[in-house]
Amino acid sequence: MNVLERMAAPEDEPPSGACVRVERPERGLAILRLAPPHRRTAVFDRPLLRDLELALAELERDTQLTALVLTGREPLDFVAGADIDAIRSLASAELATELARFGQSLFERLARLRMRKIAAVGGPVPGGAFELSLACDAIVLADHPRSRIGLPETRLGILPGWGGCQRLPRRVGVPSALAAILSGKLYPPREARALGLVDRLCAPQDLVRIASDIAMGRERDPRRSRGARGWLVDRNPLALAVISATARKNLRAQTKGRYPAPERALELIVRAPSTPLARGLESEARALGELAVGPVCKSLVFLFQASEAQKKLARRSDGSEARSISRAGVVGAGVMGGAIAGLFAERVGIVRLCDLSRAALDAAQVAHAARVEKARRKRIVEPYEARRSIDRLETSTAIDGLARAELVLEAVAERLDVKRAVLAQAAAQVSPDAILATNTSSLSVTEIADGLPNPARVVGMHFFNPVHAMPLVEIVRGRETSDEVIAATAKLALALGKTPIVVADVPGFLVNRVLGPYLDEAVRMLELGVPHEAIERAARDFGLPMGPLELLDEVGLDIASHAAASLAAGYGARMQSSPLAARLAAAGLRGKKGGGGFFRYAQDPRSGRPRKLDWNPAADAQLARRATMAIDAELVRDRLVLALVNEAARCLEERVVASAEELDLATVFGMGFPPFLGGALRYVHARGTAEVVTRLEELAALPDVRQRDGARERFDPAPLLRSLART
């Protein structure tokens, strides 16, 4: 039984030969078109691989051919890479290695065809689709905003295993291949051309014609020679040793050794130019086999699929697309409101930003222009796109000019009366079906909607700070919010490049509610005498991007104490927090934005942003802690993490979010739970639910926990965890 027979067959598997067509438009030229009838977007599933093998066998027999063009169903529809379901289902390293060898052999058959081979590709060309293109003599890419090309496999915990780690270094050189593969970036057309990933750009409608002319010799060969550079670097052991050591050092700083795929890829890429192709491919296949069945790959593939599944939220219950929003208003030009408005102008359309303060509006415009200019300098956007993004952001010192807005979002002070008044002003100007959204992080969307005309159109759209970096948006369903509004808001979040999660209108919603016990336990341990270094180190060693005290500074101690009060009011003693954050805020220590909180900050002259310096002695004045206690790193970690995990389980029990998959996705995308662990509930499963329950019971019995009102309830295992532990 070969590897294809061991792969899962789709329910609607097409007949043999239906997925790949060989067309012969003129003498000597064939067009190999990948167009599977059973998928809207082609992936390398069993039927496509089967039919590609059949088509290559046909081409090998045709001695009249001198040229071949490899393309997709449409100019902007090639192949979306490997079948992610197949990767997730791989259960043995042997099967994964065999699948890698099969793909390599297939692409090698293409490379050895005795004819001029040109890949004519467009739209997304990730992973295996790019590796297939690399087996051709030249690559022509459609010059279109939808086109992206690269090798993103390391983001899934694996590496390019169908020849990418061998062919890309030979094409662009070791340094460029390292940058492309280790980052997992998908490059836009101009950047891809500059790096040598592709050889020619053209308009989508000309893609096959130009590729055919190159293949037939009617246009000159666009492939650029690397000349002496290839020998000076790629074949120079000293240069490669320096490049390898530098890349490994940078990689370790980024991954902390938790993600094995980039390090395995680095070894293969550096050795590729001096290794015979057959031997390099075999090493690549074995590495892929080991990585594909590892826990990191399984977690990252899970998160990718969970994120992709959220795209369904942009559809109505009948499957039709929700309405699109192209014009919006944002009220409040603070850090959040200004960033949300800028993101809308960059990604979607015209936005009017309103604030009483001209200084705040000016600051928002300057920040927006700086972001756009940075993207232009990096060739992420074209000059005309940069000018358009800047022109799309309008400002006003009054709440006016919103008549044509299809959505108005408020990002003003966290006061119920202020938010209601702002949305009432907006409602008086916009059409009856325009959406009224609130970026509240702690107030009830239902209460905000009370008294507004047509409360069915009021929805929470909770972004996280920093807006451009954080991938999650919580779509908060109020009591009256309609399904149509939920779908349209989720569609807008996707257009903004975010992942939407629909959550119930409960105090703290999902992410802030789960974060509450975690952050408070950090402060409680600090008050007990645990050194701040031990607390921060425990979180970072677990895999979180920053420690909880630094996170409190990032959020703002004034905002954090306000959110904590909201959680305590909603959930009682279990969420009762230490008053320390409020005391620090009252003393003027508001966190990063104010120059100091638990830590001190200073303006970085290069980036212009605050940079953490060291512990803030002023915080100790508000901290009546006991003598420094002995440190148990495991105990510190568990008090932080299991407080979070236990609250996450309660959220699932109470249907704050629809599924465990969405909850795990929210913990990773919204609060930085380690991606290599796959989310809070997957962590419980991996550690063992019975062990987690036992450990929670031990934490609940700690002397300081027993003495604190509500703290024992915080660590009392959620009924869901007890039930799972029993089964």
Contact present, 400 and 305 (Cβ < 8 Å): no
Other C-beta atoms lying within 10 Å of the C-beta of residue 375: 16
Among candidate residues 129, 214, 203, the one with its CA nearest the CA of residue 163? 129
H or E element, residue 21: strand 20-26
List, in sequence order, the alpha helices (H) in 30-173.
46-61, 84-89, 93-111, 128-134, 164-172
CA dist 71 and 31 (Å) reads 7
Within 10 angstroms of residue 47's Cβ, the number of other Cβ atoms is 27
Q: Sign of the CA dihedral 607, 613, 617, 620?
A: positive
Q: Which residues pair with 163 in a beta bridge?
A: none
Interatomic CA distance for residues 182 and 261, integer angstroms: 9
Confirm if 3 and 21 have CB atoms less than 8 A apart: no
The answer to whether the Cα torsion of 615, 618, 623, 628 is positive or negative is: positive
- State the Cα–Cα distance between residues 67 and 136, nearest whole angstrom: 11
- Residue 58's identity, in one-letter code, is E
Strand order, beta sheet including 472-477:
393-396, 350-354, 327-331, 407-410, 435-438, 458-463, 472-477, 499-504
Q: Quick count: other Cβ atoms within 10 Å of Cβ 704?
A: 14
Residue type, 269: I
Summary count for the chain: helices (H), strands (E): 33, 19
What is the dihedral angle through the alpha carbons of 222, 223, 228, 233, rounded to the nearest 10 degrees? 140
Measured between alpha carbons, how far is residue 669 from residues 8, 117, 470 in Å? Answer: 31, 42, 7
Cα 478 from Cα 457, distance rounded (Å): 9
- Among 187, 183, 136, residue whose Cα is nearest residue 163: 136
* Catalytic machinery residues: 462
Strand partners, 612: 601
| End-to-end CA gap in the chain | 37
